Structure 1
Amino acid sequence: MSTVCLHCGKPIQSQRSTKKYCSDSCKQLAFYKRSSLLSSGATLQETLSDNQPPANISNQSAGKLLNGNPTALPEQQPAEAPYQWVYSRLIEQVAEYVDSGHALLLLQHPGEYWNSYTLSTVKWVSIRLRCLLENLIRLSNLPAVNYETLRAVLEAFNDIIASRHFRLLRPDYPYTNIIKELTGKLAVLAKQGKRKQTTRFRLTLNRKAELMAARHILAGLVPPARFSELEFKE
């Protein structure tokens, strides 16, 4: 079966109709590009326009005058080294989670699936979920987490679940189960931490990749916010 690489546009000969990229390098670069687009909020069309090659300044006449003075020629920049693909199982898993399911499509084009009333509810939950996911990813990299910190994050999740906004979420909101599962895990760890004052918060590679993918997708819908800036309880 013949298809075209979604990143570089080269033809692909593959027996699998689901193959999207001609190489691991293109797959990884496409993920990096999507992540940067989501973080900046740019559209694909804006990005394509920004990537148009600039005018060939070197062909302009050096004798042209600006306010009576000759224009200075720009310094030649050294050519960029070709991208060297580096295998990372975590990045591969994140890319798989981003590409799978319907979360990316829903949250990139929310107005096509939800009305304005539902969308305000989705954004209320999503901005708080993004903040909590970013903090959980940071906590998972620490050797130990104190009880007060863990309890504060758990209470934030409990407040989201108890909120009117969470109850009004439609069944197609993609992260309802993640919120419930993380709340249960944190409740267990908080009990252990209360006895010891500190505990370890660890994520499996698959779970960490899932949370990182969710965070990247949410970044296309809601801006970043500090934990202290958000009110979780209604």
Structure 2
Amino acid sequence: MFDLQGYGWMILDGARLTVLVGLASMVCAIVVGLVVALAKLFGTWFVRGAVEVYTTIVRGVPELVLLLLVYYGVPTLIQDLGAAMGLELKIAINPFLAGVGTITFIYGAFASEVFRASYLAVSKGQVEAARALGFNGFLVFRLVVLPQMLRYALPGLGNVWMVLIKATALISVIQLPELMRSADVAARTTRMPFTFFFVACLIYLAITLVSMWLQSRAEAWANRGVEGARL
């Protein structure tokens, strides 16, 4: 059942690429999410409208459709526009960049809601106290609001990561040799689909379990001293 017919290293390489795509996408999604959350909270009506359109697109369009649109649709559109202007263009998007960019675009929207809720959870009294001490707006945000936002956001960001890492399986459709693509190639070559897809399931589960443990440790670190202060 677990005879991988010499494809074990390919599966491990795919797993490493899956984690790399997930980490790169998560870091970018956190940055995008924080910027979008601040735009929702403090932006002008035009900026708030723009980010609302962004989050509506993410909610309304399936992830796979967005991925195919970015990887196949955008290069074709650019080439067609170039041909209409008499230019012969050859556009190809790197599948790694297409995958990370699309996942960032999608999960940045979800991260923004996590950050927005985290900001609203920060006590207004602490903000007013910091201003009373003479802190300007930037110092209030950096020293008082942001550290507490991150503490409140950790559970939500952990959930975003859990969903994001599973969504990396969609990148297999654009030929990036991540875990799902590697398992599919091995399954087709050896005609052992159950074995390789089951191994892929176990690896995804292992990534999830490790992530849950790391999240619990991070939350315990972020909440150190908080419970004691409440008591």
Normalising by structure 2, what TM-score? 0.23
More helix by share: 2
More relative contact order, 1 or 2 (CA 8 Å, 6+ apart): 2
